[in-house]
Amino acid sequence: MTTTIALAGKGGVGKTTIAAMVIKYLAQAQPGAVLAIDADPSSNLNMVLGLDLDWTVGEIREDMLSQVKQSLTAGGAAMGALSGGMSKHDYLDHHIRSSLAEGARFDLIAMGRGEGPGCYCAVNHNLREVIDAMSKNYAYVVIDNEAGMEHLSRRTTRDVQHLLIVTDPTQRGIVAAERIAGFRQELDIRIENSYLILNDMTGAVPTPLLARIQQLDIPLLGVVPHDETAKEFEFNARPLVELSEETPLYQAVAGLMQKIL
Protein backbone atom coordinates (compact mmCIF):
# COMPACT_ATOMS: atom_id res chain seq x y z
CA MET A 1 0.00 0.00 0.00
CA THR A 2 1.25 3.45 -0.93
CA THR A 3 1.32 6.18 1.73
CA THR A 4 0.82 9.68 0.33
CA ILE A 5 2.18 12.75 2.13
CA ALA A 6 1.30 16.18 0.76
CA LEU A 7 2.84 19.50 1.76
CA ALA A 8 1.33 22.94 1.29
CA GLY A 9 2.13 26.47 2.38
CA LYS A 10 2.44 29.97 1.05
CA GLY A 11 5.59 31.00 -0.77
CA GLY A 12 8.70 31.61 1.28
CA VAL A 13 7.86 29.56 4.38
CA GLY A 14 10.32 26.75 3.60
CA LYS A 15 7.81 24.20 2.35
CA THR A 16 10.17 22.74 -0.22
CA THR A 17 12.93 22.53 2.41
CA ILE A 18 10.62 20.49 4.66
CA ALA A 19 9.63 18.33 1.67
CA ALA A 20 13.30 17.57 1.02
CA MET A 21 13.82 16.48 4.62
CA VAL A 22 10.68 14.32 4.55
CA ILE A 23 11.98 12.59 1.41
CA LYS A 24 15.45 12.18 2.93
CA TYR A 25 13.96 10.60 6.06
CA LEU A 26 11.72 8.21 4.10
CA ALA A 27 14.58 7.16 1.81
CA GLN A 28 16.94 6.48 4.73
CA ALA A 29 14.67 5.22 7.49
CA GLN A 30 11.68 3.55 5.81
CA PRO A 31 11.52 0.54 3.48
CA GLY A 32 10.52 0.99 -0.14
CA ALA A 33 11.09 3.60 -2.82
CA VAL A 34 9.79 7.19 -2.74
CA LEU A 35 8.16 9.16 -5.56
CA ALA A 36 8.44 12.93 -5.20
CA ILE A 37 5.95 15.03 -7.15
CA ASP A 38 6.80 18.70 -7.56
CA ALA A 39 3.32 20.20 -8.01
CA ASP A 40 4.31 23.81 -7.34
CA PRO A 41 5.18 25.65 -10.60
CA SER A 42 7.30 28.13 -8.64
CA SER A 43 9.31 25.62 -6.60
CA ASN A 44 12.55 23.81 -7.45
CA LEU A 45 12.28 20.51 -5.67
CA ASN A 46 14.77 18.95 -8.07
CA MET A 47 17.47 21.35 -6.84
CA VAL A 48 17.10 20.43 -3.16
CA LEU A 49 17.02 16.74 -4.14
CA GLY A 50 20.10 17.03 -6.36
CA LEU A 51 18.33 15.70 -9.47
CA ASP A 52 18.51 16.97 -13.05
CA LEU A 53 15.18 17.79 -14.67
CA ASP A 54 14.75 17.51 -18.44
CA TRP A 55 10.97 17.68 -18.91
CA THR A 56 7.98 18.70 -16.83
CA VAL A 57 4.50 17.24 -17.17
CA GLY A 58 3.26 20.67 -18.24
CA GLU A 59 5.72 20.75 -21.14
CA ILE A 60 4.75 17.21 -22.18
CA ARG A 61 1.05 18.11 -22.05
CA GLU A 62 1.49 21.27 -24.13
CA ASP A 63 3.66 19.44 -26.67
CA MET A 64 0.99 16.78 -27.08
CA LEU A 65 -1.79 19.35 -27.50
CA SER A 66 0.30 21.18 -30.07
CA GLN A 67 0.57 17.98 -32.10
CA VAL A 68 -3.18 17.44 -31.83
CA LYS A 69 -3.86 20.97 -33.09
CA GLN A 70 -1.53 20.47 -36.04
CA SER A 71 -3.39 17.29 -36.95
CA LEU A 72 -6.73 19.08 -36.72
CA THR A 73 -5.43 21.88 -38.95
CA ALA A 74 -4.23 19.35 -41.51
CA GLY A 75 -7.71 17.81 -41.54
CA GLY A 76 -6.54 14.27 -42.17
CA ALA A 77 -8.57 11.11 -41.74
CA ALA A 78 -7.53 10.77 -38.13
CA MET A 79 -8.35 14.32 -37.07
CA GLY A 80 -6.98 15.13 -33.64
CA ALA A 81 -4.83 12.02 -33.53
CA LEU A 82 -1.12 11.93 -32.73
CA SER A 83 1.56 10.98 -35.20
CA GLY A 84 1.96 7.25 -35.62
CA GLY A 85 -1.58 6.63 -34.38
CA MET A 86 -0.51 6.74 -30.70
CA SER A 87 -3.33 7.46 -28.26
CA LYS A 88 -3.13 10.49 -26.00
CA HIS A 89 -3.00 8.23 -22.94
CA ASP A 90 -0.12 6.18 -24.34
CA TYR A 91 1.72 9.34 -25.38
CA LEU A 92 1.45 10.82 -21.88
CA ASP A 93 2.36 7.50 -20.27
CA HIS A 94 5.50 7.08 -22.37
CA HIS A 95 6.77 10.65 -22.06
CA ILE A 96 6.00 11.09 -18.35
CA ARG A 97 7.80 7.85 -17.50
CA SER A 98 10.70 9.00 -19.68
CA SER A 99 10.78 12.36 -17.86
CA LEU A 100 11.21 10.70 -14.47
CA ALA A 101 14.32 12.00 -12.69
CA GLU A 102 15.79 8.97 -10.93
CA GLY A 103 17.74 8.92 -7.68
CA ALA A 104 19.07 6.08 -5.54
CA ARG A 105 15.98 5.69 -3.33
CA PHE A 106 13.67 8.39 -4.68
CA ASP A 107 12.44 9.54 -8.07
CA LEU A 108 10.91 12.87 -9.12
CA ILE A 109 8.16 14.07 -11.42
CA ALA A 110 7.74 17.82 -11.90
CA MET A 111 4.30 19.08 -12.91
CA GLY A 112 5.57 22.42 -14.22
CA ARG A 113 3.37 25.23 -15.50
CA GLY A 114 -0.39 25.26 -15.25
CA GLU A 115 -2.89 25.02 -18.06
CA GLY A 116 -3.31 27.69 -20.68
CA PRO A 117 -6.68 28.81 -22.11
CA GLY A 118 -9.11 26.12 -23.18
CA CYS A 119 -10.52 22.91 -21.71
CA TYR A 120 -8.05 20.45 -20.23
CA CYS A 121 -10.57 18.05 -18.66
CA ALA A 122 -9.79 15.09 -20.94
CA VAL A 123 -6.05 15.64 -20.69
CA ASN A 124 -6.20 15.92 -16.91
CA HIS A 125 -8.14 12.67 -16.74
CA ASN A 126 -5.38 10.91 -18.68
CA LEU A 127 -2.72 12.56 -16.51
CA ARG A 128 -4.41 11.32 -13.35
CA GLU A 129 -4.54 7.78 -14.68
CA VAL A 130 -0.86 7.80 -15.67
CA ILE A 131 0.43 9.33 -12.43
CA ASP A 132 -1.80 7.16 -10.23
CA ALA A 133 -0.58 4.04 -12.05
CA MET A 134 3.05 5.08 -11.53
CA SER A 135 2.46 5.90 -7.87
CA LYS A 136 1.38 2.34 -7.11
CA ASN A 137 4.97 1.20 -7.62
CA TYR A 138 6.23 3.27 -4.66
CA ALA A 139 5.91 2.81 -0.92
CA TYR A 140 5.61 6.59 -0.44
CA VAL A 141 4.49 9.49 -2.58
CA VAL A 142 5.46 12.98 -1.40
CA ILE A 143 3.69 15.88 -3.13
CA ASP A 144 5.07 19.41 -2.83
CA ASN A 145 2.02 21.56 -3.61
CA GLU A 146 1.20 25.10 -4.51
CA ALA A 147 -0.66 27.00 -1.77
CA GLY A 148 -4.12 26.35 -3.21
CA MET A 149 -3.45 22.62 -3.52
CA GLU A 150 -5.19 22.61 -6.91
CA HIS A 151 -2.84 19.96 -8.27
CA LEU A 152 -4.05 17.49 -5.65
CA SER A 153 -7.50 17.25 -7.24
CA ARG A 154 -6.40 17.86 -10.83
CA ARG A 155 -3.47 15.46 -10.96
CA THR A 156 -4.28 12.56 -8.69
CA THR A 157 -7.29 10.66 -7.44
CA ARG A 158 -5.42 8.92 -4.65
CA ASP A 159 -6.24 9.63 -1.02
CA VAL A 160 -3.77 11.63 1.04
CA GLN A 161 -2.87 10.06 4.38
CA HIS A 162 -1.01 13.09 5.77
CA LEU A 163 -1.31 16.75 4.77
CA LEU A 164 1.47 18.92 6.23
CA ILE A 165 0.75 22.65 6.14
CA VAL A 166 3.96 24.60 6.66
CA THR A 167 4.10 28.14 8.07
CA ASP A 168 6.77 30.57 9.20
CA PRO A 169 6.61 31.91 12.80
CA THR A 170 4.48 34.99 12.03
CA GLN A 171 0.86 35.94 12.57
CA ARG A 172 0.49 36.50 8.83
CA GLY A 173 1.89 33.06 8.19
CA ILE A 174 -0.62 31.48 10.58
CA VAL A 175 -3.50 33.28 8.85
CA ALA A 176 -2.29 32.00 5.46
CA ALA A 177 -1.99 28.47 6.86
CA GLU A 178 -5.54 28.67 8.16
CA ARG A 179 -6.81 29.64 4.72
CA ILE A 180 -4.86 26.84 3.08
CA ALA A 181 -6.29 24.37 5.60
CA GLY A 182 -9.76 25.52 4.56
CA PHE A 183 -9.08 24.54 0.95
CA ARG A 184 -8.89 20.87 1.89
CA GLN A 185 -12.68 20.79 2.27
CA GLU A 186 -13.07 21.72 -1.41
CA LEU A 187 -10.90 18.96 -2.89
CA ASP A 188 -12.27 15.87 -4.61
CA ILE A 189 -9.98 13.56 -2.66
CA ARG A 190 -9.99 12.37 0.92
CA ILE A 191 -7.39 13.73 3.32
CA GLU A 192 -7.12 11.52 6.39
CA ASN A 193 -4.90 13.66 8.64
CA SER A 194 -3.91 17.33 8.55
CA TYR A 195 -1.16 18.96 10.59
CA LEU A 196 0.56 22.32 11.00
CA ILE A 197 4.36 22.63 11.02
CA LEU A 198 5.94 25.80 12.39
CA ASN A 199 9.17 26.24 10.44
CA ASP A 200 12.38 28.26 10.86
CA MET A 201 11.79 29.01 14.53
CA THR A 202 14.47 30.68 16.64
CA GLY A 203 14.04 30.10 20.36
CA ALA A 204 10.73 29.33 22.05
CA VAL A 205 7.39 29.94 20.34
CA PRO A 206 6.01 33.32 21.53
CA THR A 207 2.86 33.04 23.64
CA PRO A 208 0.66 35.15 21.29
CA LEU A 209 1.68 32.98 18.34
CA LEU A 210 1.00 29.78 20.24
CA ALA A 211 -2.42 31.10 21.28
CA ARG A 212 -3.29 31.82 17.64
CA ILE A 213 -2.16 28.36 16.56
CA GLN A 214 -4.39 26.77 19.19
CA GLN A 215 -7.40 28.42 17.54
CA LEU A 216 -6.87 26.51 14.29
CA ASP A 217 -8.83 23.40 13.39
CA ILE A 218 -5.61 21.47 12.65
CA PRO A 219 -3.15 20.38 15.34
CA LEU A 220 0.41 21.62 15.60
CA LEU A 221 2.58 18.64 14.68
CA GLY A 222 5.77 20.32 15.80
CA VAL A 223 8.37 23.05 15.41
CA VAL A 224 11.36 23.01 13.06
CA PRO A 225 14.23 25.23 14.23
CA HIS A 226 16.25 27.70 12.20
CA ASP A 227 19.32 25.92 10.83
CA GLU A 228 22.34 27.91 9.66
CA THR A 229 23.90 24.89 7.95
CA ALA A 230 20.82 24.54 5.75
CA LYS A 231 21.05 28.23 4.87
CA GLU A 232 24.69 27.74 3.84
CA PHE A 233 23.65 24.85 1.59
CA GLU A 234 21.03 27.11 -0.02
CA PHE A 235 23.54 29.91 -0.59
CA ASN A 236 25.96 27.49 -2.26
CA ALA A 237 23.28 25.64 -4.28
CA ARG A 238 24.06 22.33 -2.55
CA PRO A 239 21.23 19.77 -2.45
CA LEU A 240 19.62 19.76 0.98
CA VAL A 241 19.35 15.97 0.95
CA GLU A 242 23.12 15.98 1.49
CA LEU A 243 22.68 17.56 4.93
CA SER A 244 24.03 15.52 7.81
CA GLU A 245 21.52 13.56 9.85
CA GLU A 246 22.88 15.41 12.87
CA THR A 247 21.66 18.84 11.72
CA PRO A 248 18.77 20.38 13.71
CA LEU A 249 16.64 20.66 10.56
CA TYR A 250 16.81 16.97 9.71
CA GLN A 251 16.51 15.84 13.32
CA ALA A 252 13.33 17.89 13.78
CA VAL A 253 11.65 16.68 10.59
CA ALA A 254 12.65 13.06 11.28
CA GLY A 255 11.02 13.38 14.69
CA LEU A 256 7.81 14.68 13.13
CA MET A 257 7.71 11.80 10.64
CA GLN A 258 8.20 9.29 13.44
CA LYS A 259 5.10 10.72 15.11
CA ILE A 260 2.77 10.14 12.15
CA LEU A 261 4.14 7.02 10.46
Tell me if 85 sits within 8 A of 123, measured CB to CB.
no
* Whole-angstrom Cα Rg for the chain: 19
Tell me if 149 sits within 8 A of 6, measured CB to CB.
yes
**What is the pTM (predicted TM-score) of this model?**
0.91
In the chain the first and final C-alpha atoms are separated, in Å, by 13
Confidence (pLDDT) at 41:
79
Report domain extents, the chain. 3-260
CATH: 2.40.160.20, 3.50.50.60, 3.40.50.300, 2.60.40.10. Which one for 3-260? 3.40.50.300
Q: pLDDT by residue for the chain (261 residues), tens digit each?
A: 899 999 999 989 999 999 999 999 999 999 999 999 998 877 689 999 999 988 888 888 888 888 777 766 665 544 455 766 778 888 889 999 999 999 989 999 998 876 665 555 667 778 888 888 999 999 999 999 887 776 676 656 568 999 999 999 999 999 999 999 998 888 878 899 999 999 999 999 999 999 999 999 999 999 999 999 999 999 999 999 999 999 999 999 999 999 999
Q: Residue 146, exposed/middle/buried by CB under 10 A (0-12, 13-18, 19+)?
A: buried
